[in-house]
Structure 1
């Protein structure tokens, strides 16, 4: 019994050290009722007081919140996406009225129109005013609610930056209206659509029709992703679609991978340092996040610059690393290599020596720097 209690206590301590789940009641003037919210704040939200976070709005939170929140926490832990605030709207049986649309024009009507305004005019401003948010929002829905989030595409500009539509139960004409609307949108839109081979037949067919049209749209500000999961049912596709959607929407955010290194960096004709700058500029532009450049990304681009013999690019990467991580020795190695290659051995030796008392970085050890400095001494008799 004591062992069981100890395990339970350890589990609770672990939970308290991870992401925070808040339960709130929100009175909506638009709906004239109170709605229950589940809100997951990122790990260390209270201590990272200068950090802002994207928002993920989850409809059907009665059953969608946990899979979305769990994937957000997991993927952000491994830096496959930024830490984000997940907001779940509890709907229960009210989901049918919440998603109501007019029988003539097929846009939100009655309770559906009120729910549409509740999300855009009340809920999102409330989250922005009470939490530290970045200007990037995603909406997630399943069947009825997956249909509903599409209506926000017709606002100008659209309310959300990203849409995760899982087996949508599309309103009439929407499979035609969405492809017609997308080209007119000037802002960047990320759109993920999913079905499964064992999905409800009518929903699978209309999803495939929508996909056939969306995949033909070719414009820079529309990022489209589609999955048809083999063997997935209407409900099991959700657990496969959510991580796929988040990974694809935030693909540019991830650290530079081995595949990216081999297939992109090593085949570049343009300066590698520009690739690094562009990556983080894109992260800031798209997601509103001013993140420091990761050590991993400095190492990947600098290694590529060495292999490609882009010495000026290596100098620029070393200079950026010195500004951002002055206590690490990687900038001394990169700048030392630059001076070696341009024929300034004395500067190279002193630069290598400058990293002796700094923190080691990955393969860049103090012994490596000493060996390089000593070799220059021997070769040139300094």
Structure 2
């Protein structure tokens, strides 16, 4: 809660000083006109030539872009989500034509069908072609544009991997259609829905009705999250919903926290090193990101392996750390611990001593390694 309160105070302050904001005019053949775009690139985009980034498409970019971009920058700074490219579509008064639906079918009408195709057939291919993108795309919308996001669920496969749907002004029948459609989608879908107790009454009621239909869906590919914020209005719920949505959608991406360590890792009945491998395989599978395992996660799982006396897991973790961080003492320390506990003190001593000229990591210091080596030498007379 304190983190969210801090975020509310500072996240919108001078975002452009930390990340690259680009303003563009995009000429659309589908729309027969140009549209203004706001694009935020990650802080170190130019220096990380091999890195790829998920995309966040923001409808109602006139007022939603800044809160979304600020939160993305803040969360990615603390590694609670991957750095991402944020694309805001300026709509202004055209939002109603862009996102209208037919009075009979309640699906996109002639004008909104053009806007539908503009995003899927023009804008996203343009962003993919110009920037280094990962194959994970989130859409964000509010009221009228939030409803419009739902139409992309009916593409096969759906255009977006994640949907942040804030107080949607739902079209008739769309709730039933979504509930029927979702179980048949084979790819992973993350769907976040939010309203507030002081939201516009009709929107709050229809959002609650949609939640009732979605919360009970049984699907291994559908990841659903819902918030009804106490005392939040139609507009203030946006500021609370965006960080909650990002935090939940990217929960698996975050470094292992104290809670994950105590509630999950320490309660595993399976090898701890496999949990670490599976965590990063999931990150790659979901978000298209081949990230190295973080130092934090090596330390967390190695510590758990020691406490649970899973010495083979400790050996595997140490071996992986030696490969990922060969210039640090990280892997050598835990490999030495493995040798100690596995009855090979001489090999442990030599492993500690061999790392004396490497870089220290977190609480692991050269003095710690040499002290352990000296203790073994004293105890065994080597």
The TM-score range, normalised by the shorter chain, is over 0.9
C-alpha distance in 2, partners of 1:304/1:133? 35
> Residue 184 of structure 2 aligns with which residue?
184
> Cα deviation per residue 1:91-131 (whole Å; 9 max; x = unaligned)?
00000000111111111011101000000000000000000
> Residue 84 of structure 1 aligns with which residue?
84
3-state SS of the aligned residue for 1:45?
Answer: coil
3-state SS of the aligned residue for 2:320?
Answer: helix
State the number of aligned residues: 369
3-state SS of the aligned residue for 1:88?
Answer: strand
> Residue 116 of structure 1 aligns with which residue?
116
Listed as ranges, the matches of 1:1-382 within 5 Å are 18-382=18-382
Task: Note if contact 1:332-1:355 (Cα within 8 Å) is conserved in structure 2.
Answer: yes
Task: Note if contact 2:15-2:70 (Cα within 8 Å) is conserved in structure 1.
Answer: no
Structure 1 position 173, deviation (Å): 0.1
Unpaired segments ≥5 residues, structure 2? 1-13
Structure 1 position 36, deviation (Å): 0.3
**Runs of 4+ displaced beyond 6 Å:** none
> Cα deviation per residue 1:55-89 (whole Å; 9 max; x = unaligned)?
00000000000000000000000000000000000
Unpaired segments ≥5 residues, structure 1? 1-13
TM-score computed with the length of structure 2 as normaliser: 0.96
Structure 1 residues 80 and 346: alpha-carbon distance in aligned structure 2, compared to 1, 3 A threshold: same
C-alpha distance in 1, partners of 2:314/2:288? 28
Task: Note if contact 1:57-1:138 (Cα within 8 Å) is conserved in structure 2.
Answer: yes
C-alpha distance in 1, partners of 2:330/2:50? 27
C-alpha distance in 1, partners of 2:319/2:349? 17
Task: Note if contact 1:141-1:164 (Cα within 8 Å) is conserved in structure 2.
Answer: yes
Structure 1 position 312, deviation (Å): 0.4
> Cα deviation per residue 1:164-194 (whole Å; 9 max; x = unaligned)?
0000000000011101100010000000000
Structure 1 position 30, deviation (Å): 0.6
Structure 1 position 26, deviation (Å): 0.3
Structure 1 residues 106 and 175: alpha-carbon distance in aligned structure 2, compared to 1, 3 A threshold: same
Task: Note if contact 2:24-2:36 (Cα within 8 Å) is conserved in structure 1.
Answer: yes
C-alpha distance in 2, partners of 1:274/1:258? 19
Structure 1 residues 301 and 59: alpha-carbon distance in aligned structure 2, compared to 1, 3 A threshold: same
Structure 1 position 290, deviation (Å): 0.5
C-alpha distance in 2, partners of 1:346/1:333? 14
C-alpha distance in 2, partners of 1:15/1:32? 33
Structure 1 residues 45 and 107: alpha-carbon distance in aligned structure 2, compared to 1, 3 A threshold: same
> Residue 10 of structure 1 aligns with which residue?
none
C-alpha distance in 2, partners of 1:218/1:180? 11
Structure 1 position 17, deviation (Å): 5.7
3-state SS of the aligned residue for 1:230?
Answer: strand
Structure 1 position 364, deviation (Å): 1.2
C-alpha distance in 2, partners of 1:373/1:216? 57
Please, what is the CA RMSD of the aligned residues?
0.9
Task: Note if contact 1:17-1:43 (Cα within 8 Å) is conserved in structure 2.
Answer: no
C-alpha distance in 1, partners of 2:282/2:354? 33
Structure 1 position 15, deviation (Å): 6.5
C-alpha distance in 2, partners of 1:17/1:71? 14
3-state SS of the aligned residue for 1:339?
Answer: helix
Task: Note if contact 1:18-1:44 (Cα within 8 Å) is conserved in structure 2.
Answer: no
> Cα deviation per residue 1:192-244 (whole Å; 9 max; x = unaligned)?
00000000000000000000010101222110000000000000000000000
C-alpha distance in 2, partners of 1:16/1:201? 36
